[in-house]
Every structure is written in structure tokens, then in C-alpha cells.
């Protein structure tokens, strides 16, 4: 047996560092004792208690709804953006466009949150002045904020797939007379489907996790799950929070496994393709 090298040892230590706190959290969520630091035997007491907490449950429902709409909108906009960035070499304002699409990836959330809130306040003033409509902040504004942020992630995921895609299939369909939109729907979309699904799931979890943006742009009565958790956590460690945090951890783990299976299947399929692709590439392209 070969001695593991330095980098492998660091990798294992790093993974331990990433996972140990979460494992400890889940174990402590089954602690019967109210005192979070003292072990009082196993119990599912705190999980059962969650179901009775109507405030928390309505926040869960609200967060899931926002996450669903966010993911759906972000996938549509993000795929379009990725398409524009990878397939259209020149158009007016291309630099600004790709800048706007990648910047949300790194922009500190407090800045994005504050700026969106101020936009919504200004929009409300304009709408009230021009049309007499009162525009309240709530789920709609959280959805807009989350979508803006998630588009960047979808665009990155999808454009990396579009970049490595063999374009000869699309060329062939176009040569055979298929209209562009049909080519896109029947050829391109199925080929990039795994990354579209991965982008959807990623946007869903991003939206479900966000605290800072939602805190800025939410209105009264639209408290999301992370906001509920945050206000409880500020006061210290609580067994109920351990339980809900463990549920979220479990849900995200299942989600990630799902994404992994989708990605792996796509990876296998694309590795089975090469001879076919080679053959297509060898043909003269007209």
C-alpha cells in the first residue's frame, strides 16, 4: 500500500472540517435535554414540536413557493443569457451584458440587498404618483431579488456546457431546413438539459438559503424561513433550531445527490458519444 501523499491528507482533513460541524448539529438535534450543551438521551421531541409551530411552518411554505418561482424564472433568463454570451460574438453592449451577468456571483449581498430595496421604494413612489397604485413589498419583491441573483449562477452553469457542446448537430438541423427556434427546442435544449436541471435545482437552494436579500426587500408578513431562523439564532442555540436545521440539511443532501446523479448520467452519456461526434466533425461543414 502506497503512503498517501500530502495533498490527499489535506483533502481528508478539509472534508472532515467541512462535515464534522454538520454531523454534530444533527446528533444534537436528537438530544432530549432542553439544555443544548448537556446530553440527555435520544429523542425526536423537537422534530414533533416543529409541526405545531405554525409560524415556522408558514415561513417554510412561503420560502418553498418563492424558491420554486425563482428557479423557474432564473432558468429561462439564465439560459437565454448563456446563449447570448456563448453564441453571439458581437452585439452592442456585450461587455456590459456579460459584466452584469457575472457580477452578482461575487457582489456582497448587503450591497445587492440595499440597492434593490431602494429601487423598490423608488418604483413604489413612481407607481403611486403616475397610476395611483400602491406597491407593497412582499413575496414579489423577494422573488425579483432572488431571480436576479440566481440568473448569474444558471448562466455560468449553462454557458460552460454550451461552450463545450459540438455545434455540428445544430448546423445539421439548420441545413436540413429546421427553423432556428425548432432547432433550439429539439436539438440544443435536450443536449444542455442536464445543466438546465442542475441550474434549476441550484437556484432553488440558493433562494431557499438566502437571508440577507430577503431581509432587505421583504415587507411585513412575508418572513421567509431563514429570517425566522436568524431571529431565533441571534438569541443563542436552541433545540428547535437544531431540529429544523437538521431537516434542511437532510433536504439539501437529498437534493445534491439528485443533481449528482443527473450530472453523472450526462457525463456518461457524453463520454459514450465521442466516436459519433468525431464522425460528424470529420464531415465538411457547409
Residues 24-53 close enough to bind other proteins by CB under 8 A: 24-25, 28, 36-37
Q: Looking at 41-49, 127-135, 210-218, 272-280, which segment touches other proteins (CB under 8 A)?
A: 210-218
Query: Does 258 contact other proteins by CB under 8 A?
Result: no
Q: Is 280 in the site for other proteins (CB under 8 A)?
A: no
- Residue 157: CB atoms within 10 A of its CB come to 24
User: Which class for 206: exposed (0-12), middle (13-18), buried (19 or more C-beta within 10 A)?
Assistant: buried
Kindly identify the residues of this chain, within the stretch 142-201, that bind other proteins according to CB under 8 A: 144-145, 147-148, 151, 155, 159-160, 163-164, 167, 170-171, 174, 180-181, 183-184
Count of Cβ atoms closer than 10 Å to residue 52 Cβ: 8
Beta carbon nearer to other proteins, 78 or 194: 78
Is residue 234 at the binding interface for other proteins, with CB under 8 A as the rule? Answer: yes
The CB-of-242 to other proteins minimum distance in angstroms stands at 8
Question: CA dist 128 to 121, 140, 269, Å?
Answer: 11, 17, 54
Interacting residue with other proteins among 256, 276, 281, 283 (CB under 8 A):
256
**Total of chain residues touching other proteins, rule CB under 8 A:** 103
Distances (CA, A) of 212 to 15, 24, 57, 120, 230: 27, 26, 20, 16, 10
The one among 67, 191, 196, 202 contacting other proteins by CB under 8 A: 202
Q: Judged by CB, which is closer to other proteins: 22, or 32? A: 22
Segment interacting with other proteins, rule: CB under 8 A, options 44-52, 54-62, 85-93, 128-136:
85-93
Instruction: State the virtual CA torsion across 50, 144, 89, 267 in degrees, nearest 10.
Output: 10
* Per-residue x/- track, 63-82, other proteins (CB under 8 A): --------------xx-xx-
Helices in the chain by DSSP H: which ranges? 6-29, 45-52, 54-87, 94-106, 109-131, 139-164, 168-175, 180-183, 189-209, 212-217, 225-233, 239-272, 274-282
Q: Which of residues 122-141 bind other proteins (CB under 8 A)?
A: 122, 125
The answer to whether 203 touches 153, Cβ cutoff 8 Å, is: yes
- Ramachandran angles phi, psi of 222, nearest 5°: -125, 50
Q: Which is nearer to other proteins, 108 or 132 (CB)?
A: 108
Is 10 a binding residue for other proteins by CB under 8 A? The answer is yes
Nearer to other proteins, 49 or 259 (CB): 259
Give the cell for residue 139.
413575496
Within residues 87-116, the interface with other proteins by CB under 8 A covers 87-89, 91, 93, 97-112, 114-116
Burial string for 15-44 (b: 16+ CB within 10 Å, else e) reads eeeeeeeeeeebebbbbeeeeeeeeeeeee
Nearer to other proteins, 48 or 118 (CB): 118
Nearer to other proteins, 57 or 110 (CB): 110
Instruction: For the CB of residue 224, give the shortest distance to other proteins in the complex, in Å.
Output: 11
Distance, in Å, from the CA atom of 281 to the CA atom of 75, rounded to the nearest integer, reads 30
Amino acid at each position: 500500500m502506497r503512503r498517501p501523499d500530502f495533498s490527499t491528507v489535506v483533502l481528508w482533513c478539509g472534508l472532515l472540517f467541512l462535515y464534522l460541524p454538520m454531523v454534530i448539529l444533527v446528533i444534537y438535534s436528537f438530544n432530549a435535554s432542553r439544555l443544548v450543551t448537556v446530553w440527555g438521551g435520544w429523542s425526536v421531541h423537537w422534530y414533533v414540536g416543529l409541526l405545531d409551530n405554525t409560524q415556522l411552518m408558514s415561513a417554510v411554505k412561503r420560502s418553498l413557493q418563492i424558491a420554486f418561482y425563482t428557479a423557474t424564472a432564473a432558468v429561462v433568463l439564465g439560459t437565454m443569457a448563456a446563449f447570448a454570451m456563448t453564441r453571439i460574438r458581437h452585439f452592442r453592449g456585450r461587455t456590459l451584458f456579460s459584466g452584469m451577468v457575472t457580477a452578482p456571483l461575487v457582489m456582497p449581498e448587503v450591497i445587492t440587498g440595499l440597492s434593490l430595496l431602494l429601487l423598490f421604494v423608488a418604483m413604489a413612489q413612481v407607481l403611486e404618483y403616475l397610476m395611483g397604485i400602491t406597491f407593497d413589498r412582499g413575496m414579489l419583491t423577494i422573488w425579483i431579488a432572488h431571480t436576479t441573483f440566481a440568473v448569474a449562477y444558471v448562466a455560468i452553469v449553462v454557458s460552460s456546457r454550451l461552450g463545450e457542446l459540438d455545434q455540428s448537430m445544430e448546423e445539421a438541423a439548420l441545413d436540413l431546413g429546421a427553423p432556428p427556434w425548432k432547432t433550439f427546442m429539439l436539438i440544443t435544449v435536450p443536449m444542455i438539459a442536464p445543466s438546465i436541471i442542475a441550474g434549476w435545482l441550484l437556484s432553488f437552494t440558493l433562494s431557499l438559503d438566502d437571508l440577507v436579500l430577503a431581509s432587505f426587500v421583504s415587507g411585513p408578513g412575508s418572513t421567509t424561513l431563514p429570517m425566522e431562523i436568524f431571529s431565533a439564532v441571534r438569541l443563542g442555540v436552541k433545540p428547535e433550531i437544531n431540529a429544523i436545521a437538521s431537516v434542511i440539511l437532510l433536504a439539501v443532501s437529498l437534493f445534491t445527490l439528485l443533481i449528482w446523479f443527473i450530472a453523472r448520467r450526462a457525463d456518461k452519456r457524453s463520454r459514450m458519444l465521442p466516436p459519433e461526434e468525431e464522425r460528424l466533425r470529420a464531415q465538411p461543414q457547409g
